[in-house]
Amino acid sequence: MIRRSSTSNSDPDAKSADLRRFLRKLLLVVPVVFFVAGVNVYVDPGGVFHRGQEKQIAKYLLEGDNVANVYNHDDRQGLRYYVEGLKEKKDILVFGSSRTMVVDSEFFPGERLFNASVTAGTLRDVVVNYELFHEKGLVPRKVVIGIEPYMLNGAFDNKLYLEDAYRRALARLGLPVVESTPFWSRVVDRRYAQLLAPAYFQVSVRNLDKVIALGRPQPCPTKEFEVDTQMARADGSLNYGKARRTRDAAEIRRKAERFTLRNPEELANFRVLDLNLRRMFETFASSLLEEGVEVIFLMAPYHPITYRMMLDNQAFRCVGEAKDYFEAYAAQHHIPVYGSYDAGACGVAENDFYDAVHLSRQALLRVFRAGPRNT
Amino acid sequence: MLFNSLHFAIFFPIVAGLYFLCPYRYRWVLLLVASYYFYMAWIPVYALLLLASTVLDYTTGLMMGRTESKAARRKYLYLSLAGNLGLLFFFKYYNFFNDSMRAVCEHFSLTYRMPESHLLLPVGISFYTFQTLGYAIDVYRGVVKPERHPGIFALYVSFFPQLVAGPIERASNLLPQFRRTFDFDYQRVTDGLKLMAWGLFKKVVIADRVAVIVDYVYMHPQNHEGPGLALATLFFAWQIYCDFSGYSDIAIGAAKVMGFTLMKNFDRPYWSRSLQELWRRWHISLMTWFRDYVFYSLGGTRKSLARVALNLLIVFSITGLWHGAKWTFVIWGLGHGVLLVVSLLTRDVRQKVAAVLRLDRIPRLHAVWQVGVTFFMFYYVGVFFRARSVGDALYILKHLFIGWSDPFRGLGFKEFVFSIGFRTIEDFHIAVLAIIVLETVHYLQSRGPLRPRLAQKPVWFRWALYYATLLVILGYGVFNDSPFIYFQF
């Protein structure tokens, strides 16, 4: 039994008057909330609230155009629209993350390639995006998988993959659905969390004048091979904007150094190679091989400073374990492995990077042309 | 769960709302469930440690209450100390001890084969361990009666506002509050919310903004010279203060919204005129803990001067070790101990010098001098607190005064600012401006409490200030869910 002493206001009228007063004052904060939401929706630097770009981009790509002014669109949705409109098979499909987005047709001369890599692509994305092609009977001859160590980190799931296709893919592969998204995020579109997000508000404010003067950047079809803005090429590859392509060595180095200071979200709490993800990877890769698809693993190098951080820091020891696991799997199934996380082993230098984790197209092409490491 | 996360922004209003709607008799249940949820949002299984600590001290407390025999009571106290400090040692100090032993053995060409622990340090273990230890010692000394209600005691150990980074509350202050019935009180709720907003300002606008350059420079100090090292160290002084006092403000404010009064943890420490004063105003809950349970147990100031000096060195070395299982922290603590001993030994001389120089005629200048010297000592020794290794710290201390003939290394100010890790020149300006605002508020606070003076201002002025604070936090805060530095302790 708890004996209590009271510091409460014994007058119920005074209590409710206090509450009413508080709620009235709370209403005065509402304009700030509306202001933040209004600026975020109006500027919308990430294209969260102004949908429609994805369909437009997919349409241009299907028509064989490159698309300039491609910023922060939902590339997973864009891929879905693209596959819906695709009529014929590609010879080669590339799946992975932003680190493999620069792989283009020049990597495989004479073959029809489409790069289906998505921003922050996870193993689930690889499986789901392949499923989109598979469902339409557009099974390619060859699949390039951009192998990322974090693909086996059970503690990381950005939950951006296409949920419906994910369930269908697992059903086809005979795998149980391991629920990774909480119920509320399946009911409410999680991108709407940006409505009141302070970080989103700050980017919106920075771009407010530009949007007022020029409007939001619109995707624009072009036949140019390289433009100043970020561009999606007709083969699905990404051409970074001029500002990123022309970064000087000091800035690239600073970016890599800053990257090592934070705990990268995708590698946080990476303590074991997740069993479910391993099972998913093995089942998926086996199914590709059983379908007669030639599989290639691509390990895009990390900036030397980033790689050193991964080697030196005990918290990232699973990066090495994941690399060994993928290489062992490749050896066992005679899968060629191109590249290495270690830039030094691939002969690329600091200046070949755009930042801490993204290698330039030319450098990655060089790595690719050097051939597989395990044959 | 971080105070500066969306998760907490949803969690807290729900808990506070339910708290006032909940019948008084079930409120402890609500708070206990909320507190465990708060803790388990990180690594759920580590809640078992919290539970183990709770069960241990609840039981030993009851057993001590049931016996009059001092020997028996001491036995239960030792049990509590062994259990709590054992857990703390295993999770926090095992690898430190292991590495140190290995180094010693290697030095003497001996074999040492103890395995490393890969367990993560449980968040806040030093805080809740010390809080429960304080309870056990108080029960042993007869200062508080043992708590018989297991739920209330579990809430005392796990109360979410102060669970992971303090203030380390005394049983005599917090436990009785769980038996009081708090109704919704407009003044208290709004005061609590304002304090939370102020804490958030310190954390996201100042601490997280300057963290970028502190981390950058201290990651590779060898890449920088005096001006860069000095600026990063100067910013670190505000980073550590704003990070921790910001957390404390949010914790105290959150508790206040629900009616609870937690102890003040910081009192404008950088305005102190001596190191003794600074340590009375810095992390007050921890320093009073060490004073009451360690320093006084060693004899306090009642012993000879030599013994008092030794006690100070012991207490501050332990204080350093409490902050982290690294030699840098031990040296940091010991450094402060040495400075305090020197200050104690030279007190008479300094007073005589001040009298000869007639500094009493220029009290303001004297005060500025004292504040400046005190801050510099704290700042200088603080290098050990932040450096990644003793070698790095020594390098920084050695090079702090080198390279000032060309402070910007021929780069120009803007390029210099980039070279020490700022992304834009605006980041630098915002950081400096925010620190000026902070210290202006501190100055105003030194002239008396701000709240009554603010309440006298016209309503438009107050609301303009509230809107400005909100917009500054939203517009200039760094929102990347960076954890509070003191979580690691």
Say if residue B314's pLDDT is above 70.
Answer: yes
Amino acid at site B240: I
Say if residue B51's pLDDT is above 60.
Answer: yes
Name which of A2, A19, A201 is nearest B184 (Cβ-Cβ): A19
Output the DSSP codes for B30-60: HHHHHHHHHHHTT-GGGHHHHHHHHHHHHHH
Mean confidence (pLDDT) of chain B: 88
Q: H or E element: which one contains B488?
A: none
How much is the pLDDT for A185? 56
Average of per-residue pLDDT across A90-109: 94
Catalytic residue, from B107, B118, B283, B323: name it.
B323
Whether B378 and B403 map to the same domain: the answer is: yes
Say yes or no for a CB contact (<8 Å) between B418 and A2. no
Whether B229 and B347 map to the same domain: the answer is: yes
Say yes or no for a CB contact (<8 Å) between B182 and A4. no
CB A39 within 8 Å of CB A205: yes
Average of per-residue pLDDT across B169-197: 91
* Cα pseudo-dihedral A102, A108, A111, A112, rounded to 10: -10
* Chain A residues close to B190, C-beta within 8 Å: 22, 25
- Report yes or no on B486 lying in a domain: no
User: Strand A142-146 to strand A92-95: parallel, antiparallel, or no bridges (unpaired)?
Assistant: parallel
Q: What's the full length of chain B, in residues?
A: 489
Query: ∠ CA A248-A251-A252 to the nearest 5 degrees?
Result: 85
Say yes or no for a CB contact (<8 Å) between B186 and A3. no
Q: How many structural domains comprise chain B? A: 2
Name which of B25, B183, B215 is nearest A2 (Cβ-Cβ): B25
Say yes or no for a CB contact (<8 Å) between B181 and A257. no
Name which of A4, A18, A25 is nearest B179 (Cβ-Cβ): A4
Whether B393 and B339 map to the same domain: the answer is: yes
- Dmax (CA) for chain A in angstroms is 85
* Pick from B262, B254, B260, B182: nearest CA to B16: B254
How much is the pLDDT for B82? 93
Instruction: Classify A143 as helix, strand or coil.
Output: strand
Whether B353 and B222 map to the same domain: the answer is: yes
Tell whether B197 lies on the interface with A, counting CB pairs under 8 A: no
For residue B410, how far is the Cα from the chain centroid? 39
CA-nearest residue to A271 within chain B is: B118
CA-nearest residue to B180 within chain A is: A5
φ, ψ for residue B143 (rounded to 5)? -75, -40
φ, ψ for residue A297 (rounded to 5)? -100, 135
Whether B132 and B234 map to the same domain: the answer is: no
CA-nearest residue to B186 within chain A is: A18
| Nearest chain A CA: its distance from B474 CA (Å) | 5
Residue window 147-166, chain B: list those with CB within 8 Å of chain A: 149, 152
Which range among A13-17, A77-81, A194-198 has the greatest average pLDDT?
Answer: A77-81
Look at the block and give the residue holding tokens 């990063």: B232
How much is the pLDDT for A158? 76
* Chain A residues close to B219, C-beta within 8 Å: 257, 260-261
For residue B8, how far is the Cα from the chain centroid? 20
How much is the pLDDT for B329? 92
Domain edge (last residue) among B181, B205, B222: B181
For residue A147 the two structure tokens come to: 């192998």
Q: In this predicted model, which residue has the larger pLDDT, A298 or B415? A: A298
Euclidean distance between CA atoms A74 and A160, whole angstroms: 9
Euclidean distance between CA atoms B256 and B258, whole angstroms: 5
Burial of residue B216 (CB within 10 Å: 0-12, 13-18, 19+) is buried
**pLDDT tens-digit map of A123-158:** 999 999 999 999 999 999 999 999 999 999 988 887
Q: How many CB atoms lie within 10 A of CB B116?
A: 11
Size of interface A-B (CB pairs under 8 A): 79
Average of per-residue pLDDT across B247-266: 94
Percent of chain B predicted with pLDDT > 90: 53
Whether B171 and B34 map to the same domain: the answer is: yes
| Percentages of chain B per state (helix, strand, coil), in multiples of 5 | 75, 0, 25
* Chain A residues close to B181, C-beta within 8 Å: 4-8
Percent of chain A predicted with pLDDT > 70: 92
Percent of chain B predicted with pLDDT > 70: 98
User: Strand A220-222 to strand A66-68: parallel, antiparallel, or no bridges (unpaired)?
Assistant: antiparallel
Euclidean distance between CA atoms B324 and A282, whole angstroms: 42
CB A287 within 8 Å of CB A177: no
| Nearest chain A CA: its distance from B457 CA (Å) | 17
Euclidean distance between CA atoms A84 and A16, whole angstroms: 58
| B442 in catalytic set | no
* Chain B residues close to A5, C-beta within 8 Å: 176, 179-181
For residue B225, how far is the Cα from the chain centroid? 30
Name which of B181, B183, B215 is nearest A4 (Cβ-Cβ): B181
- Report yes or no on B190 lying in a domain: no
Whether B173 and B206 map to the same domain: the answer is: no
**pLDDT tens-digit map of A225-278:** 888 888 999 999 999 888 888 888 888 888 888 787 767 888 877 888 999 999
Ranges A195-204, A365-374, B473-482: which has the least confidence: B473-482
For residue B55 the two structure tokens come to: 């069960």
* Chain B residues close to A309, C-beta within 8 Å: none
- Report yes or no on B138 lying in a domain: yes
Look at the block and give the residue holding tokens 């999606």: A232
Say yes or no for a CB contact (<8 Å) between A18 and B212. no
| Integer-rounded Cα radius of gyration of chain B | 24
Say yes or no for a CB contact (<8 Å) between B474 and A3. no
Say if residue B439's pLDDT is above 90.
Answer: yes
Q: How confident is the model at residue B280 (pLDDT cuts 50, 70, 90)?
A: very high
Average of per-residue pLDDT across A39-68: 86
How much is the pLDDT for A191? 66
* Cα pseudo-dihedral B40, B42, B46, B50, rounded to 10: -60
B167 preceded by a cis bond (ω within 30 of 0): yes
Hey, where are the domains in chain A? 54-182+219-369
Whether B140 and B222 map to the same domain: the answer is: no
Q: How confident is the model at residue A196 (pLDDT cuts 50, 70, 90)?
A: confident
Ranges A320-324, B134-138, B448-452: which has the least confidence: B448-452
Name which of A198, A205, A254 is nearest B479 (Cβ-Cβ): A198
Say if residue A10's pLDDT is above 80.
Answer: no
Say yes or no for a CB contact (<8 Å) between A197 and B118. no
Tell whether B28 lies on the interface with A, counting CB pairs under 8 A: yes
Euclidean distance between CA atoms B168 and B273, whole angstroms: 25
Q: Is the CATH code 3.40.50.1110 the one for domain A54-182+219-369?
A: yes
Say if residue A178's pLDDT is above 70.
Answer: no
Euclidean distance between CA atoms B487 and B121, whole angstroms: 10
Ranges A50-59, A347-356, B425-434, B476-485: which has the least confidence: B476-485
Say yes or no for a CB contact (<8 Å) between A8 and B183. yes
Say yes or no for a CB contact (<8 Å) between A193 and B6. yes
Say yes or no for a CB contact (<8 Å) between A201 and B179. no
How much is the pLDDT for A332? 93
Tell whether B461 lies on the interface with A, counting CB pairs under 8 A: no
Tell whether B405 lies on the interface with A, counting CB pairs under 8 A: no
Whether B151 and B242 map to the same domain: the answer is: no
| Nearest chain B CA: its distance from A254 CA (Å) | 7
User: Strand A238-239 to strand A231-232: parallel, antiparallel, or no bridges (unpaired)?
Assistant: antiparallel
How much is the pLDDT for B372? 93
pTM over 0.90: no
Burial of residue B219 (CB within 10 Å: 0-12, 13-18, 19+) is middle
For residue B184 the two structure tokens come to: 């919704």
Average of per-residue pLDDT across B303-322: 90
Say yes or no for a CB contact (<8 Å) between A6 and B421. no
**pLDDT tens-digit map of B103-161:** 888 888 888 777 777 777 788 888 999 999 999 999 999 889 999 999 999 999 999 99
- Report yes or no on B188 lying in a domain: no
* Chain A residues close to B201, C-beta within 8 Å: none
- Report yes or no on B82 lying in a domain: yes
Q: In this predicted model, which residue has the larger pLDDT, B109 or A61? A: A61
CB B222 within 8 Å of CB B398: no
Whether B97 and B214 map to the same domain: the answer is: no
Residue B258 lies in domain: 197-476
Euclidean distance between CA atoms B315 and B337, whole angstroms: 8
Say if residue B239's pLDDT is above 90.
Answer: yes
CB A92 within 8 Å of CB A140: yes
Name which of A22, A201, A205 is nearest B189 (Cβ-Cβ): A22
For residue A336 the two structure tokens come to: 């060629």
Q: How confident is the model at residue A177 (pLDDT cuts 50, 70, 90)?
A: confident
Taking each helix axis from N to C end, the angle separating B425-446 and B459-476, rounded to the nearest 10 degrees, works out to 140
Say if residue B238's pLDDT is above 80.
Answer: yes
Euclidean distance between CA atoms A348 and A146, whole angstroms: 18
Say yes or no for a CB contact (<8 Å) between B24 and A193. no
Euclidean distance between CA atoms B18 and B468, whole angstroms: 30
Amino acid at site B404: W
For residue A98, how far is the Cα from the chain centroid? 6
Tell whether B6 lies on the interface with A, counting CB pairs under 8 A: yes
* Cα pseudo-dihedral A353, A357, A360, A365, rounded to 10: 120
How much is the pLDDT for A187? 56
- Report yes or no on B386 lying in a domain: yes
Burial of residue B10 (CB within 10 Å: 0-12, 13-18, 19+) is exposed
- Dmax (CA) for chain B in angstroms is 75
Say yes or no for a CB contact (<8 Å) between B212 and A19. no
Residue B293 is given by DSSP the state I
Long-range pairs of A250-256 with CB within 8 A, sequence gap ≥ 24: A252/A303, A252/A350, A252/A351, A252/A353, A252/A354, A252/A355, A253/A305, A253/A350, A254/B418, A254/B421, A255/A355, A255/A356, A256/A303, A256/A304, A256/A305, A256/A306, A256/A350, A256/A353, A256/A355, A256/A356
Q: H or E element: which one contains B302?
A: none
Say yes or no for a CB contact (<8 Å) between B179 and A3. yes
Mean confidence (pLDDT) of chain A: 87
Q: How many CA atoms lie within 13 A of B222 on its CB side?
A: 4
* Chain A residues close to B6, C-beta within 8 Å: 193, 197
CA-nearest residue to A23 within chain B is: B186
Average of per-residue pLDDT across A168-197: 73
Amino acid at site A121: G
Euclidean distance between CA atoms B167 and B255, whole angstroms: 11
Whether B113 and B245 map to the same domain: the answer is: no
How much is the pLDDT for A2? 55
* Chain B residues close to A261, C-beta within 8 Å: 212, 215-216, 219
How much is the pLDDT for A181? 56
**pLDDT tens-digit map of B199-225:** 999 999 999 889 888 888 888 888 888
Whether B100 and B207 map to the same domain: the answer is: no
* Pick from B220, B216, B251: nearest CA to B232: B216
* Pick from B101, B58, B57: nearest CA to B80: B57
For residue B58 the two structure tokens come to: 């609840």
Say yes or no for a CB contact (<8 Å) between B470 and A32. yes
For residue A338 the two structure tokens come to: 């191109």
Residues of A with CB under 8 A from a CB of B: 2-9, 15, 18-19, 21-22, 25, 28-29, 32, 36, 193, 197-199, 201-202, 205, 254, 257-258, 260-262, 271, 314
Euclidean distance between CA atoms A219 and A232, whole angstroms: 9
CB A372 within 8 Å of CB A338: yes
